[in-house]
Amino acid sequence: MNDKLNASGLVSYCLDILIPSDAYAVAKCSREMASAIGFSRYEVGMISIAVAEIATNVIRYALPGKASIRTICAGKGIEITIEDAGTGIPDIDAAMVDGFSTHSEPSIGKGLGAAARSVEEFIFNKSDLTGTSITLRHFLKPVLDDTEVSVKSFPAVNAFFNHDQYIIKPFHAENLLVALSDFREFGAQSSSYASIFKTVVESNYMDSLDTLLQKCQLALRENNGKYLSQTLLMKVFPDRFEVIRCGNIGLYVGSEVIQRKPIDPSLFLLNGEVVTNGSLVEVFPRRTETTVLIHSDGISLPNILNMERNTSLDQQTRSLFDLSALDDDDATLLVVRGKYAC
């Protein structure tokens, strides 16, 4: 086993997989690192099981192999990559089905479905005649020490159903994905299509925002033949905000409104490719005091907005919603700010 100290003072390991005891060593090393990072006993066990399944199948079908184990995200996550020298998995979809097993399988093939469910990310780097490479990643539950979020969302006055739908998904221990969409154009089926949209977002949150929006639009078109024309997706990182949007979802960064880009949602769907003359993703620097406000068209706000800093975020969001929500439309107001912005 080779180990090295990286620039952050954390140890990464590289291990050969040549004999049966090596599979145990890889699982043991993964377990010890996961425990040191601070995962729960249950999570440590699941990570160890996932690694053992894959490493054992390298021993059975695809020697030689190797594994690398390291911490990521400033010590808030673990990454294990296992490679083999087999001839690849002919049908990855079949191999991911529970119960799949064949001794004639030339590469990793048993337990992949269970392994994938045991970690947050399960990635095929390659699987071809030169071998298979799989990366597993798992992260501490996000704490978001420096970020707080508040949202107020209600249907129009005297209406029963709110067509505005929002998603708030923390990921990778310190990041956040936020989405706000208006599904009114889907009529009585809006809740069903909102569910499709949410499933795609939560299953593909690691994709770039333009790719993620493309997948959402493709899924909606396949089910209904329509595009979602009013949506905004935002990723919040420690140093920046990334945003992509269609239609009239409003966006304020700091105290100023960010003018809308005229993006036609069908741009994402020509021959299944994103069609642009440049990136549709807007990037804004993030500072401790930066507040971002997102709203549906049921909210009417001025172009310049002075955000109070001496009140709680929930109180501020509630007051702003009460002042700006229109009676005749569904209204949603979502605010993200640094916890120490007050």
DSSP assigned state of 238: S
CA dist., res. 95 & res. 102, Å (int): 10
Q: Assign a CATH topology to domain 147-338.
A: Phosphatase 2c; domain 1 (3.60.40)
**Whether 48 contacts 25, CB under 8 Å:** no
> Mind listing the pLDDT tens digit for each residue in 56-96?
989 988 999 999 999 998 888 999 999 999 999 888 888 88
Q: What residue ranges do the domains of the chain occupy?
A: 2-139, 147-338
User: What residue has token string 């068209």?
Assistant: 297
> Mind listing the pLDDT tens digit for each residue in 253-294?
987 888 876 566 655 555 545 455 456 899 999 988 889 999
What pTM, to 2 d.p., does this model score? Answer: 0.77
CA dihedral of 190, 193, 194, 196, whole degrees rounded to 10: 170
Residues 134-161 have a mean pLDDT of 90
3-class DSSP state of 338: strand
3-class DSSP state of 89: coil
CA dist., res. 198 & res. 213, Å (int): 11
The Cα diameter of the chain in Å comes to: 70
**DSSP codes, 149-199:** EEEEEEPPTT-S---EEEEEEEETTTEEEEEEEE-GGGGGGHHHHHHHHHH
2-139 and 147-338 have identical folds: no
Q: What CATH superfamily classification does 2-139 receive? A: Histidine kinase-like ATPase, C-terminal domain (3.30.565.10)
